Amino acid sequence: MTIKAYFKEVKAHYNFQSKRIIISDQSSSQFDHFTFVIIENQKTGEELYCLQFTSEHNCSVFRDLVVWNNLLVIGFDNFCYIFNLETEHVVKYKLNSFFDSFFITEQHVLLSSLSNIDCFNSDAVFMWRSEKLGNESIKISKVENNIIYGSGKWDEAGWKEFQLPLSTGGVGEKTKKKSIFTSFFKK
């Protein structure tokens, strides 16, 4: 089945046509702004899921989503949500700064924030977080021969190019093993 997913701004009384799943955990309960992501069958237009999460901001320019294999990866503000379309398992992951963009390889999804790159494998397992590569934006231009090529924007210095090994992001084991995400089931 081919999946289509998109952000939808709706009023609280919207009549959802699908299974509604709240993907925020308890740490988000202090916020009162709701954001919805609609997941539908692209061929039939049937609404399959409506994901709801709370956030500090009602609307954000720091947001995007991508369907990758059996996962829906959502970047919003300074969080990443990974929703498994088969199991309904959700991973919520806090970024170091606001979300910027995705870069997808066959085996990895790379999330760039305004300062770092975070890497997940195809099972939604966190692999590593890079050192600080900028403070205004990170752009990945390509991944070739297991090397990540890109540039980071710094306030005064402008854009600085970088190259990182895809396997580690150039990070030592001490940082690589740090637990910085929340995983939970909604079923």
Give the model's pLDDT for residue 60. Answer: 60
Give the model's pLDDT for residue 103. Answer: 95
User: Given a cut of 70, is residue 72 above it in pLDDT?
Assistant: yes
Q: What is the pTM of this model?
A: 0.79
Give the model's pLDDT for residue 175. Answer: 41
Instruction: Kindly report, residue by residue over 15-45, the tens digit of the pLDDT.
Output: 677 777 777 655 555 656 677 888 888 899 8
Instruction: Kindly report, residue by residue over 122-171, the tens digit of the pLDDT.
Output: 888 999 999 999 999 999 999 999 999 999 999 988 999 999 999 999 87
| Three-class SS of the chain | CCEEEEEECCCCCCCCCCEEEECCCHHHCCCCEEEEEEEEECCCCCEEEEEEEEECCCCCCCEEEEEECCEEEEEECCEEEEEECCCCEEEEEECCCCEEEEEECCCEEEEEECCCEEEEECCCCEEEECCCCCCCEEEEEEEECCEEEEEEEECCCEEEEEEEECCCCCCCHHHHCCCCEEEEECC
